[in-house]
Amino acid sequence: MELPTFAAFVTSGLEDIAAAEIKASLSGVRILETRQKVVLAEAADPRVFKNLRTIDDVAIVSALSSSVDSLEDLITLIASGADLNETIAIAGRADIFEDAFSVTVSAAHTAYGPGKVIEEAISREISKRYAWQYIQGQRAAIDVRVFIDGTWAVIGIRLYDEPLSRRTYRTANVRGSLRPTVAAALVRLAVVDGKRHRVWDPFCGSGTIVCEAAAMDHEVWGTDIDPEAVDASRENISAVNHAYWGRIENADSTNLKTWQRHRSATAVVSNLPWGKQVAIKSKQALYTSVSSGVAELGRRGGTGVLLTAEPQPIVQRLSREPGIRLDEQRIGLLGQTPTILIVRPVR
């Protein structure tokens, strides 16, 4: 019996990390293909994806084509290639279906109109074919997910009421708060050996990275110079593990003394302050402390994973440091292409 196909939607640049999490966490799941922002996989049970942390959302695929050259081709794919009733049943969502649906469109590198035009055309075709009511401006219990990249298109039904990227612990936010799925991916990059680590975020903001690390059962510490961020981080981490509330401190991590206090960390994972979102007193001090701190950590056998919109000053400093290896990985986030810097010991 042929297994259903699922599309896991991820942040651009993190597809391999998401695919690795799927392989490591889920039995009976086979990766079919990895594309930009999408991992396709086969699975017998749609519920298995529920606890993945690097996946933004999941849909069960109803139809897929690599030759959708026009809006008319997309409509034809819906009319002749997709059986949404069957997809809804396989997804286990038939019991909540009340003949109403919404449409979510993601489209890139396509010449047949913006997302709104595509959404309207799709909703008209589905309403005509199935006699369902289209709900505009909000998500219905049955949400038709359409993803288009050039001529490659996938149509499916979202599996869950809420996106997987939504976290119940996240009740407090500050400017520059990181997307939880990206935070989870950064932690997974830092701890590839399957062991329990001591994770420190020197610029923790609202605590998304420490919350994700704690949810993966690592020990965590967080530091921020902004008292408002410390309060937010403490509130959020308390929802994951209240024992870590006291490990969030108000301190300046551009000061090397702060790094010395956290020498017990085996992994440093941080979203460095972005100039447009968070005020930075001294970029020079930031780059110096971070570069020196993660280089020293790497020489001790630890790993540093840093997300930054301005990698070059840190790369220049780290390239002069002995005993470490530096890797770079670009992602797409908030309309920008920040870089993940990964510092590991030379083996």
Distance of CA 158 to the CA centre of its chain: 17
Q: How many angstroms from the chain centroid is the CA of residue 294?
A: 23
The total number of structural domains that make up the chain: 2
How far apart are the two ends of the chain, measured CA to CA in Å?
A: 46
Tokens of 79: 């009319």
Indicate whether 339 belongs to any domain. yes
β partners of residue 143 = 102
Does 279 lie in the same domain as 331?
Answer: yes
Judge if 100 and 32 occupy the same domain.
yes
Residue finishing a domain among 113, 128, 158: 158
In a domain, 165, yes or no: no
The answer to whether position 107 is within a domain reads: yes
> According to the model, what pLDDT value does residue 120 have?
95
Asked whether 201 and 268 are in contact (CB, 8 A), the reply is: yes
Q: Are residues 31 and 142 in the same domain?
A: yes
300 and 244 in a single domain? The answer is: yes
Clarify whether residues 150 and 48 are in a common domain: yes
pLDDT in tens, the chain (347 residues): 589 999 999 999 999 999 999 999 888 899 999 999 999 999 988 889 999 999 999 999 999 999 999 999 999 999 888 899 999 999 999 999 999 999 999 999 988 888 899 999 999 999 999 999 999 989 999 999 999 999 999 999 999 999 999 999 999 988 888 999 999 999 999 998 889 999 999 999 999 999 999 999 999 999 999 999 999 999 999 999 999 999 999 999 999 999 999 999 999 999 998 754 545 667 888 999 999 999 999 999 999 999 999 999 999 999 999 999 999 999 999 889 999 999 999 97
Residue spans of alpha helices (H) in 31-114:
71-76, 84-90
**129 and 17 in a common domain:** yes
- Is residue 90 domain-shared with residue 197, that is, in the same domain? no
Structure confidence at residue 281 (pLDDT): 64
Does any domain span residue 23? yes
Name the residue among 246, 181, 245 with its Cα closest to residue 216: 181
pLDDT for the residue 335: 85
| Together in a domain, 131 and 187 | no
Structural domain boundaries, residue 279: 180-345
Q: For residue 231, what is the domain's CATH number? A: 3.40.50.150
Q: Distance (Å, rounded) from C-alpha 310 to C-alpha 308? A: 5
Tell me: do 140 and 222 sit in the same domain: no
pLDDT of residue 205: 95
Residues 23 and 101 in one domain: yes
R_g of the chain, CA atoms, integer Å: 22
Instruction: State residue 82's pLDDT score.
Output: 83
Residue at 170 is within a domain: no
Both 192 and 334 in one domain: the answer is yes
Q: Do both 138 and 227 map to the same domain?
A: no
- Is residue 171 assigned to a domain? no
Q: What's the CATH code of the domain at 10? A: 3.30.2130.30
CB atoms within 10 A of CB 89: 14
At 181 the pLDDT is 98
Among 99, 124, 158, identify where a domain stops. 158
Residue 63, domain member (yes or no): yes
Residue 91, φ and ψ in degrees, nearest 5: -70, -10
